[in-house]
Amino acid sequence: MATPCAQRPRLAVLASGTGRTLQNLLDRIADGRMRGCIAGVSSDRADAFALQRALEFGVEARMLKDPSAIWSWIEELDVDLVLLAGYLRLLPVIPEYEGRVLNIHPSLLPEFGGKGMYGEHVHAAVLAAGRAESGCTVHLCNNVYDDGRILVQARVPVLPEDTAPSLAARVFAAEAEAYPAAIAIRWHELQAGREQPA
C-alpha cells in the first residue's frame, strides 16, 4: 500500500531505467533536504528498476506506455509537477500541465541534445567533440526533445583522461544537486504566480 503523500509539491516521476535520479530524490525527501513528496512513479518498461525503487519506498508504481493513460494516471494523482528522470520517450505535454513538466539532461543544452542523445551516448559525443567542460541541464518540457526554458545548468570539467563512464559519474553528481534545485525554483515560481513559458 502506498504511503500518504500530503506535502507539496506533489510529484510524479517517469523513468525508463535504473532510477538513480529517482533514488536521489527519494533520499533527499526522506532526510529533509528536499521539500515535497513523490505521489507515483511510472515507467515505459516493466523491467525498469525504478519501479522496484518506488515500491521499496511505499510509492505507487505503474508500467504505462500510452500517453493518454499516463496523463489520466497523473491527473488522478493530483500532482503539481511531473519529473522526467531518465525517461526515454517523448511525452506530449497536455495544456493543463504546460510549464509543469521538467526534464534533466546530461549535457549543457542546447548542445548534445535531441532524440537518441541519452546516457553514455551524450558523454561519448562530448568527448569526441573535444569539449573542455560538460554538465547537466534541467528544463521545462515542450513537445520537442530536450527543448524548453532552462531552469538550471551545472557545469563540470572534462578531464584529459576521461572516458564516457568517468565523465558520466561526474555529471551525475552535478545532476543530484541540480534537479532538486530546479524543482524548488519552479515550485516557487508557480506559488508566486509567475507563469513562465515552457
Measured in degrees and rounded to the nearest 5, phi and psi for residue 52 equal -65, -40
Measured in degrees and rounded to the nearest 5, phi and psi for residue 62 equal -140, 150
Q: Which three cell numbers stand for residue 87?
A: 525517461
- Strand segments, DSSP code E, in the chain are 10-14, 37-43, 60-63, 81-84, 101-105, 133-140, 150-157
Exactly one of 105, 121, 139, 188 is catalytic; name it: 105
Between CA 180 and CA 127 the distance in angstroms is 27
DSSP states along 127-163? HHTT-SEEEEEEEE--SSTT-S-EEEEEEEEPPTT--
Buried b vs exposed e over 57-87: b needs ≥16 C-beta within 10 Å? bebbbeebeeeeebbebbeebebbbbbbbbb
The owner of cell 533520499 is: 27
The answer to whether residues 106 and 167 touch, using CB atoms and an 8 Å cutoff, is no
Catalytic residue check, 105: yes
Which of the residues are catalytic?
Answer: 105
